[in-house]
Structure formats: C-alpha cells, structure tokens
Structure 1
Amino acid sequence: MNGLAENRLKMAAEGYANRMRSLNDYFTTLDKLLDAEDWDKAEIAGKLLSVHGPHSTHAFLQVDRLGTQRNRPFIREDAFDAIAVLHLQVLYDIHVDKNYESAYDVHTQIMRKFTEEILRKWKDCNWFLPIFYQLCTDLRNTAKMADELGGLDEDRDSSYYEQCASFIMESYRACITDARDVSISKKIAILNMTNQLFRIYFKVLNNVIKINKLNLLTPLIRTIDNSENLQRAFSMADKVTYNYFLGRNAMFDSNLPLAERSLSYAFRNCPTECATNKRLVLIYLIPVKMFLGHMPNPSVLRKYKLEEFIEVVEAVKVGNLAQLDAALATHEDFFIQCGIFLMLEKLRTITFRNLFKRVSLILGKNQIPLDAFLVCLRHLGVHDVDADELACIVANLIAQNKIKGYISHAHQKLVISKKEPFPELRSSS
C-alpha cells in the first residue's frame, strides 16, 4: 500500500471512529463492515481492531472482561465477535491497567482464535486477510510493549517479541496448504507473514536481546521464490518490504548481487511520497553499491538526508584510508545503529584497491615498487601499515581478483597485467 492509499484508509477509519459514541456503536460499525465481506471494508475493520487504531483512545471501548452479549449488538460471526471482545480487553490492559504482559497474552488468544476459527475453517474466501495482517502487526506491537514497558523477566528463555514468531508460524501453516484459486486462496498471506517474521528476527530490543534466527526463514524464502502464480496477487507494499529485508539478509550473507537486486527493487518501487522508507532502503543499498564499484552522487545523499555517507564515499573513491577512518569514527553511532558499521569498515579493501590504482596510473607502468604504495600511505597519514602488512594486503587483493598481477618478492614490486589490471569490482564480487 502506498502512502496516499494508507492515508485514505486512515482517514476512512478515523471517520468511523469519530462517529462512535458508545460500545453499541462500535459493535454495530464492525458488524456492517464485516458483513460486506469485502477486502476494502476489511482494511477499515482491521484499523478498528488495531491497538493503535483511531478508536483505541475512546474510554468507552477500554472495557475489562466484557465477555457477554447482553446490552450490546452481536457481531453475527461468532469468531469475530469473540475477537472484538478480546480486542477491547487488550485496550483496557494497555490504556487503563497498564498491564502490557496481559495485553500480549490476550492478543495471543486473538491470534489463536483467528487461526483456528477463520483461517482453518472458512473455505473459498480470503477477504478477511487485511484484518489478519493488522492482527499480526499488533502481535508484534504488544510483544514489544510487554518487553520494553513490562520489564524483562530473567526467568524467561526468550523475549515476548521472539516468542510471537511461533504464533505467526502457526498461522502460516494454516495458509500454506490452501491450494484454491488465487482469488480466494489464503496462501497469498504467506508474503505478509514472511515479512512479519523478517521484522521479528531483525529486531533488537533494548540493545540487549538479539534475535538471530534468519536461517529459519530460508524455506519460507524458497517457497516465495517458487510461487510464481502468486506474484501478481501479492501487494506491491508487501513485495517492496520483502525485497528490502531479503536484500538486507543477502548483504549480511555477503551475497552482493542478490542484495543489490533486491534493495534496488525495493527502492525503485517504493512510492516517491514515502521518502522515509526510500531513505531506509538507501542506508543498506549504498554500501552494497559501493562494494560493487558504484559510488552514490552527493546530491542523492543530501536529498535523502544521508550526509553521513558523503565523506565515506569520497574517501573510498580517492583511496584515502585516513579520511575513511575519520569519517567512520565521526559517524560511528549512526552506522552502528543502522547495523552497517562492520560492513563499512570492510570498505578499506576497496579503498586500498583504489589507492593502488591511482598510484599505478600516476607512475604509468606495470611494475610498481611496493615502497611507492607505502610512501602514499605515509603521505595520507596512515602509519600503522608496514611493508609486510602491505604485501599481505596486495596479495589479498590479487586473490580476490581486485587486482590482476603478482608480487615479485625478489624485486619488491607489484607486477600488474597490461590488460585490465584493475577489473570492475562487480566482476570480482
């Protein structure tokens, strides 16, 4: 969903919420939306079943242990009626009782109810999936609240945030076996659920709990890759999100071609008005592009408020190690927070390669004394690289096919190929 569509949905949900004056209004509104059995109406209903929905601050909806149909309309579908009642309990736990652990526990009941009574039992329809997507998002939100606001229990083996993955996987299993036509199949939900799991496994709570189970998503990724018949049914919003996470995962696996392909897709298809999301994609796409030899234009970095990269890019381009180290030190907090600091440090290899290329062009010959590189390094303020370490760096660049040539140890020279001595970085990745 693009930014404009999301805004329209938000405004529609706010319109319904603003007209509510009582508990009866809430149930009547939900009943009418659900009775339509329509995807667009289900999106609005999802907002009205969200912990952060426009209705959530209404005091008359923050109800403890409602659990009865007396004195209120009844949503005609029993499963949705039970889900709505449980949802109001979650609102009470969050806004009144401030019991975030209870809010999470109740929301897990909502997930179980939806999976068992709707995903598994309702055949030949999938119009309700927008509600399910919102419930999955709120499962993560309530889990995060329970961890961050409820306090971590040292006796627990894992965080609530990590635990909530199991509920999404349970729902995933209920959908993946639906072999009906795409127009009514619940299988189209697998991309959204995979994105939910990506978010969980990439998340770091309180800088303490680190969840590193991305390998569990390998079979899910393989399933999506093999689901060509579903590609048109997946929403563009979900495809952009998926490629963003897939690209990040590939980046950390050092699969740079896949990382570039996925992140470029996410950036290209992210709506122009979603500048914040495009900036987020660029944070990971820029290092990948740099490793492949494509240096971003400073104007693009300024447009998306990523000035932290400007000095890094300039240092790598000209082969200035001291400038690179200084730039990384200056913006260390930002790069660490984004999770790319260690990857940017590896740009030292590319920086060395670019420096050696400049020296070879200046000297204009294919036999270059290693001392010439040392002189340049000293001139640039790099004093922690001696002759032995320099030889190791050059040898590694040759092994990585970033330089074509060999070291003549007898003459202490780098002998480079007369044809394409410094191959394109893309070809060596």
Structure 2
Amino acid sequence: MGSPLRSLNDYFRRLNDLLSAENWELSEEAAKLLSISDSHVHMKFLQLEKAEDERRLYLNNSFDEIACLHLAVIYHLSKEHFENAFNTHVQVVQLFNKEILQKEKDQNWFLPVLYTLCTDLRLLARSADNKPSRLRDPEKSSCYEQSATYIMECYRTCVADVRAEIHASKKMAMLNLTNQLFRIYFRINKLNLLKPLIRAIDNSGPLYQTFSMADKVTYKYYLGRKAMFDSDLSLSEESLSYAFRNCPSHCARNKRLILIYLVPVKMFLGHMPSVDLLKRYQLQQFATVVESVKDGNLKKLDETLMENERFFVECGIFLMLEKLKIIAFRNLFKKVTRIYGTNQISYEAFMCAIRWLGIEDMDEDELECILANLIVEKKIKGYLSHMHKKLVISKQNPFPALSTIP
C-alpha cells in the first residue's frame, strides 16, 4: 500500500496514517508493518536495536513503543539472535495486551494487529527453540510452550470483554487465538488443555457467525484431528469434512493437509477415497492402503504401511492406520462367508484364507480373538461357538455398514 519505504520516517508516517484511521481494513495493512514476514524486515535502515532514540511521528504512545520494539525484533533477526528476537517480541505482545486490549474500550479495529503479533510469537518461538544451545539444554523451558502463556493472557483479556456490542467486541478474537493455542498444544502434545477452549467456542452463540471462514476452517481442521485421536470418528469426520469443503480450491496444500486426516477417518467409517482424489492431492501413499483394506489383504497392508512408514509417522497417523487391520480382517471374513454361502463358518475356513495371503504366524486362538472383537464392536452381527470352532452370523445384515455402527 502506497509508495515504497525509503527511510525510518516513511515507516513511522505510514504506520501512523494507517493506525490513526482506527479502521479494521487499514489495521490489516498496519499489521503487515509489524510483521516479521513482511518485506520491510529486510530494510537495513529499519533494523534498529534502539529505535526509540530516533524521531517518531506517532499519535498513540503505546503503538509508538510497540513499533520501536518491533524494529528491535527485526534487528535481532538480522543478526540471527533468535532468542533475543523472541524475548523482545514477548514485550511487544505484553505491551499490546496491557495498553491496547485492556484499555481501549468498545472497539476492536486493532484485532488484525493482535493476530499478526501472536502468529509471529509462535514463529519466533520455534526459531529460538531450534537454536543449538537450547537443544543441548533439555531442562530449559521451550519458547514455544512459553508463547502459549502470553497468547492465553491476550485470550483472557478478549473473552472478558462483555460490555461491547458484538460488532465492536474483542471477543471476536476468540477463534483466531484458539487456533493459535491449538497449534501450540498439538506441537507440545498437551491436547488436554484444549477442552475449555473448545467449550468456549461451543457456547459462543451468535458470536460464532462473526468469525472469519478462514478461522472456522482452521478450527474445524484441528478439532477434527483432536476428535480422531479421541476416537470420536463421527465428530472427526464432520469437522474435517467441513474444513475440506470450505477450504478454497486454490489452497491445494491446505486441502491436502486436511485429507491426510480425513482419509483414514473416512476409511474407518467404510468410505474409501477414489484413486482420482488421491492423485489430485498427491496422496498416492494411501492408494495401496485403500486397496488392501478393501480386499482384506492383510499382508499387503502391512507391506504398504512399512513402505510409507516415515510419511505416516511424520503425519502422526501411523498407529491410526495400523488399526485399519481390523477393517481389513472384517472385509476378508465377509468374502469368506460369501464364498461358503452359509451362516456357520468354521475357523479353518478363515485360516485357509489367511494362510493363502501368506500369513503364517497366526493361529486359531488369535483368529478367535479377532472375531470376538469384531462382534463386540458390532462390526459383525453373530456369535462364536467355541466348542465347534465356528462363527455363526446373523441371517439379516451380518456385516452392517460401518457408517451405521454407533
């Protein structure tokens, strides 16, 4: 926006013009000038450790100080002093919370700046934590974990804004800050801390309609992932499907990220993705998994999981995919019962099919255990005759659709 910045005064003047308008859209532009991801970060004349020594043109003393601290942050970044950059940016966030969020009443035009400051806090924390000296000191609290504390302080300030009308309320920041905390708690593996945040969103009422679609998509993505780990497949499918459906088509990378978790959940519920879908989003790692589960080919499933183990582990879904073996067994047993055309099938019939697949290290006791689990989980309707070593299945819908199983 506007002509290129040519001096420190240009920077201060531009920021002052944008902020003095007290307007949401112009605040989004101002946020760029306070972001570590903007091009101004690389301008030498703005990389100042002590910008307060320079002449400034601000109307608001708090934003004046915030801007000076930001220039100190980019100075530390230019020197690759990531821990100093993080600690200085912590001061920025705390100052914004104290002087802007807590003191500016009945208005919220500055929230885009808050969103940028919190995003940058996470990014700087990750850079600081990757510093070799920190990696060598496991006792030292991670900057990433610390960043959650400062973002939570801003969150509490925003949710406490009960007097303002919805359109002017700081509560509009709830979902964006919740997403910031989701990212952190996922990374540090503290998903239990998400429960009160989720409850607050569930109870947000009309306020939910004011949240941006981008924030809703991000929230549903993380909510779906959490539900998957909690084995709440119905909520997971609903949330991830919403995220995928409402994620813009040009955001192919994000849609692919959503599918990495939606595909296994859908498979557990009996919905297999098409080959075209997997190709379109470069997820061919799932293609043989899908084929193996559909065919009930346990050996092939094991092989493809091992071949793509690194990818699945990095995505955090390897153990989830291993659990698909029970679905593969069910599909195999379903094929066997169709071949025999009777509702009483001997264990030996199933063992023949298992051995035909090349699985030699399984005995009838393990088979019986698998069949019992499938019956308990209502994936097969029937019972076991231990004495006669047979599975007796219901004559009506013995293999109910997985999506109908509660």
TM-score normalised to the size of structure 1? 0.92
| 1:67 alignment partner, SS class | helix
Which of 54, 57, 66 is the equivalent residue of 2:51?
66
Aligned to 2:391: 414
- Once residues 75 and 149 of structure 1 are traced to their aligned partners in structure 2, the CA distance between those partners, rounded to angstroms, is 35
| Conservation of the 8 A alpha-carbon contact between 2:31 and 2:116 | yes
| Conservation of the 8 A alpha-carbon contact between 2:90 and 2:121 | yes
CA displacement, residues 211-239 of structure 1 (integer Å, 9 cap, x when unaligned): 12111110111010011211111000000
Aligned to 2:333: 356
| Conservation of the 8 A alpha-carbon contact between 1:195 and 1:242 | yes
The one-letter code of the counterpart of 1:370 is: Y
Aligned to 2:179: 195
Q: Report the CA distance between 1:150 and its aligned residue.
A: 5.5
- Once residues 378 and 44 of structure 1 are traced to their aligned partners in structure 2, the CA distance between those partners, rounded to angstroms, is 66
1:232 equivalent to 2:217? Answer no
Aligned to 1:6: none
The one-letter code of the counterpart of 2:271 is: H
Q: 1:19-418 to 2 correspondence within 5 Å?
A: 19-68=4-53, 70=54, 72-95=55-78, 97-149=79-131, 151-152=133-134, 154=137, 156-179=139-162, 180-203=164-187, 211-418=188-395
Compared with structure 1, are the counterparts of its residues 150 and 56 closer, same or farther at alpha carbon in structure 2 (3 Å cutoff)?
A: farther
- Once residues 64 and 73 of structure 1 are traced to their aligned partners in structure 2, the CA distance between those partners, rounded to angstroms, is 15
- Once residues 407 and 64 of structure 1 are traced to their aligned partners in structure 2, the CA distance between those partners, rounded to angstroms, is 75
| Conservation of the 8 A alpha-carbon contact between 1:192 and 1:238 | yes
- Once residues 360 and 403 of structure 2 are traced to their aligned partners in structure 1, the CA distance between those partners, rounded to angstroms, is 30
The one-letter code of the counterpart of 1:177 is: A
- Once residues 349 and 266 of structure 1 are traced to their aligned partners in structure 2, the CA distance between those partners, rounded to angstroms, is 28
| 1:198 alignment partner, SS class | helix
User: Which range moves more in the overlay, 38-47 or 251-260?
Assistant: 38-47
CA displacement, residues 235-285 of structure 1 (integer Å, 9 cap, x when unaligned): 000000000000000000000000000000000000000000000000000
The one-letter code of the counterpart of 1:168 is: I
| 2:391 alignment partner, SS class | strand
Compared with structure 1, are the counterparts of its residues 24 and 228 closer, same or farther at alpha carbon in structure 2 (3 Å cutoff)?
A: same
Q: Report the CA distance between 1:113 and its aligned residue.
A: 0.3
CA displacement, residues 58-114 of structure 1 (integer Å, 9 cap, x when unaligned): 11110111223x4x332111111100000000000011x321111000000001000
| Conservation of the 8 A alpha-carbon contact between 2:62 and 2:100 | yes
- Once residues 110 and 192 of structure 1 are traced to their aligned partners in structure 2, the CA distance between those partners, rounded to angstroms, is 18
| Conservation of the 8 A alpha-carbon contact between 1:100 and 1:150 | no
For structure 1, which runs of at least 5 residues remain unmatched after alignment? 1-11, 204-210
- Once residues 328 and 132 of structure 1 are traced to their aligned partners in structure 2, the CA distance between those partners, rounded to angstroms, is 43
CA displacement, residues 339-371 of structure 1 (integer Å, 9 cap, x when unaligned): 000000000001001110111111111000111
The one-letter code of the counterpart of 1:171 is: C
* Paired-residue identity, %: 57
User: Which range moves more in the overlay, 51-60 or 151-160?
Assistant: 151-160
| Conservation of the 8 A alpha-carbon contact between 1:99 and 1:150 | no
For structure 2, which runs of at least 5 residues remain unmatched after alignment? none
| 1:56 alignment partner, SS class | helix
Aligned-CA RMSD value = 1.1
| Conservation of the 8 A alpha-carbon contact between 2:77 and 2:85 | yes
Aligned to 1:208: none
- Once residues 150 and 135 of structure 1 are traced to their aligned partners in structure 2, the CA distance between those partners, rounded to angstroms, is 25
- Once residues 74 and 281 of structure 2 are traced to their aligned partners in structure 1, the CA distance between those partners, rounded to angstroms, is 37
CA displacement, residues 311-366 of structure 1 (integer Å, 9 cap, x when unaligned): 00000001000010011011010000100000000000010011101111111110
| Conservation of the 8 A alpha-carbon contact between 2:252 and 2:281 | yes
- Once residues 289 and 9 of structure 2 are traced to their aligned partners in structure 1, the CA distance between those partners, rounded to angstroms, is 59
Larger RCO (CA within 8 A; separation ≥ 6): 1
| 1:145 alignment partner, SS class | helix
TM-score normalised to the size of structure 2? 0.98
Q: Report the CA distance between 1:155 and its aligned residue.
A: 6.2
CA displacement, residues 42-72 of structure 1 (integer Å, 9 cap, x when unaligned): 111111101111211011110111223x4x3
Q: Report the CA distance between 1:410 and its aligned residue.
A: 1.7
